[in-house]
Amino acid sequence: MMRVELTVNGERRSDDVEPRLLLVHYLRETCGLRAANVGCDTTSCGACTILLNGASVKSCTVLTVQAAGGDVTTAEGLTPADGELHPVQRAFRQEHGLQCGFCTPGMVMATVGLLAENPHPTEAQVREGLEGNLCRCTGYHNIVRAVLAAASEQVSS
C-alpha cells in the first residue's frame, strides 16, 4: 500500500492505495464518486474523462499514485454548492446533448478541457477535440451544438 495525497473536487484527501489502482477506480470506490464511468478500461471510450491539474485525461489510463499531489475534478465537482449548473452542463441540458447519459460526464469534462484550451472553437475543432469520447446514442449533432453553446455562453459572461 502507498499513501497518496491529492485534492478531489476541492477536498484534500489522504488515502492508502494499491500502487496499481487506476484513478477511475479510486474515484468510484474510495471517494464514492460515480460520474467517471468505467466504459472500456482501454482509453477507447472516454466515459471516465476527468480533469487532472486542469487537463482533460481519461482516468482509466492514470494510476492513482501518478496523480498524487494533483488536483482532480470530476463532473460532480463542476457544480458549486449553490447547485447552479456549470455553463457546460447547462448547455448539454439545453441542447439535448445526451440520451442515455452514460458518456455525458466524460463528454462534459472533455468539453471543459477543450474550452479551457480553445474558448472559441469552430465546429470542426469541437468534433476533433471530442474525438476520443464515444457516444453510441446521439450521433454527436446535439453534443457539438452544446459545446458551441457553452463556448458562446462563456464569451457573453
Condensed to tens digits (0 to 9), the pLDDT of residues 26-83 reads 999 999 999 999 998 788 999 999 999 999 999 999 999 999 999 999 999 998 888 8
pLDDT band at 157; cut points 50, 70, 90: low
- Return the pLDDT at 32: 98
Contact between residue 98 and residue 92 where contact means Cβ atoms under 8 Å apart: yes
CATH number of the CATH domain containing 142: 1.10.150.120
Q: Sheet with 11-17: list strands edge to edge.
A: 11-17, 2-8, 71-73, 49-52, 55-58
Domain that holds residue 24: 2-74
Condensed to tens digits (0 to 9), the pLDDT of residues 123-153 reads 999 999 999 999 999 889 999 999 999 999 8
CA-derived radius of gyration, the chain:
15
| Last residue of one domain, picked from the residues 16, 45, 74 | 74
- Return the pLDDT at 81: 81
